[in-house]
Chains A and B, each alone.
Chain A
Amino acid sequence: MMLSPELINLITGGLGFLFTLLIFSYMLGDNPLFRIAVYIFIGVSSGYIAAIAWWQVIMPRLVYPLISAITSASMLNLGVLSSIIIAALLILMKASPHLTGVGRIVMAFLVGVGSAVALAGALIGTLIPQILATINAFDTNASSLNNLDPEMLINAAFVLAGTALTLAYFHFGARPKADGSLHRLALIEIMAWSGRIFIGVALGAVFAGVYAAALTAFIERISSLINFITGFLGNFL
């Protein structure tokens, strides 16, 4: 039996409407309706992710290449895939408390490779470029400063000041005074106080962004409710 697209839209729209209301019921506090909706979401998501793992990871990246290697008698590919299968089986041993140590070598390999990739990426992709960008804002050879654009110059000054002052805020080194109390240097103290302003502005921007994102999602859901009701009623009017 084939369902018509209109009927599918009606069913999916109805489910969307129902689950939106169930989730909105959390405004009244934690209740069974909200929990039912959450449990269904978790169950459906888990099932879908399991299907994705099988059809988009294990099958195309392990089973198909293995079949191909066997049919083509490629010993190199067969060896590589065999080692992958053995490694996967060793990690599966972690499910048993008695055999959990068997998968440590494979886990160590994965963690090592992951750490290396992350560290190299952070260094090359974030730290060095960000530091260079802060420095180069005042580079006299830079094209923006050749034009002596005051807006760019002020922007660069703000970026530099914000970076330095924010870093100063996280400088916690202090010296003991005669009365035993610990205090930062006066210059560092002033810089740290100024850094708090930049941190406050940054956190305010993040808060505004989070609110804007949540508000948009809320509007989209209300809009979908309205569209479903008007569409549903439109079928009968």
Chain B
Amino acid sequence: MRSEFERRHPGVRIQIENIPGEGQYVPKLLMMFVAKKAPDVMHLDASYASVFIDNDLLLDLTPEIKSDDSFRLDDYFTNVVDVARRGDKLFAIPLDFTPIVLYYNKRLFDEAKVAYPAKGWNCDDFLAKAKALTIDNHKEPGKKQYGMHFINWMPLWIPWVWTEGGDVLSPDGRHAEGYFDSDKTIRAVEFLASLITKYHVAPTHSEAAAAGVDLFRAGRAAMHIAGHWMIIDYRSDGIDFGVAMLPTNAASPKTVVYESGLAINRSTKKRELAWEYVKFMTSAEVQKVRVSGGLAISAQKEVAQYYASDEQERTFLNAVEFASGPWGARVEPYAVVEDLGREMMEDIVNGTPVPDAVHKTCRLIDLELSQQ
């Protein structure tokens, strides 16, 4: 695709710089900005977008969009576009995205004679199903089947907090007090933790680690919360799976959407060309090829529809309507907050009472935010 762009723009050479290593992309890219060696165009992920947007490193793309008749922002999912928005400024054009959804293993549901998740199901329905799908294996305790596979990674469990009406931060993103320690958040965390500690329908971290396999993929967990990226593995494993929205206790379901877009360096010397490249890469033509692997869903409505051939894919698209971007797109030190959330959950599973752990973490989050 790069060579296609080069072919259409004679004399232009696109140099791709990959940054390997988990967690290395943001520090490396920031250092390139500090050294004034940052690229003209870069990937911007929702989960850390704020670090770049709120430090004034990116170009507001609104003038480009307004003056370019060949570009229509309406072609993209609005909820996905808005992740990189600040008021009337827009800092990235989305490439692709995934809402976080619930996967379920149809075979395990059928075997346990449990009905598949229905539209508008709530947390009680979920718990009842999870209990029915949990099978203790007395001969081999290590081979127990779980109702749900739980991964203690805050980006995956934040929708549970939202669905109870709780949240992590105040709407302006400045503090956690009154939100993270609200009754609703505590109730959500209590529910999540009880799946592991009280009902044992989900494995503890060490139980999951000791299994040595992905419990859902191994057919030993009936449900799993994840994004579109897992679909590749599930399909290649030949798992007969369904996709559902997370259960909800609120009026309408809620989830989080993670997106990845292209942004332009504010101090680029090739503004027009950079915009051409962003437009090209996010165009329907290129997107059709880019997302064919199945890692994520194209942010172009047309392309997304093109691939939404089955029920699973359609559930993902329907989820967009109920999805909002992560705090990381709006709050700079949010990666630290997510670490604190993971540690809190670990403490709770290890026996710390939920209210104590939540209040302690709430204080730590506010301490962190005050240092900005």
User: Are A and B subunits of one complex?
Assistant: no
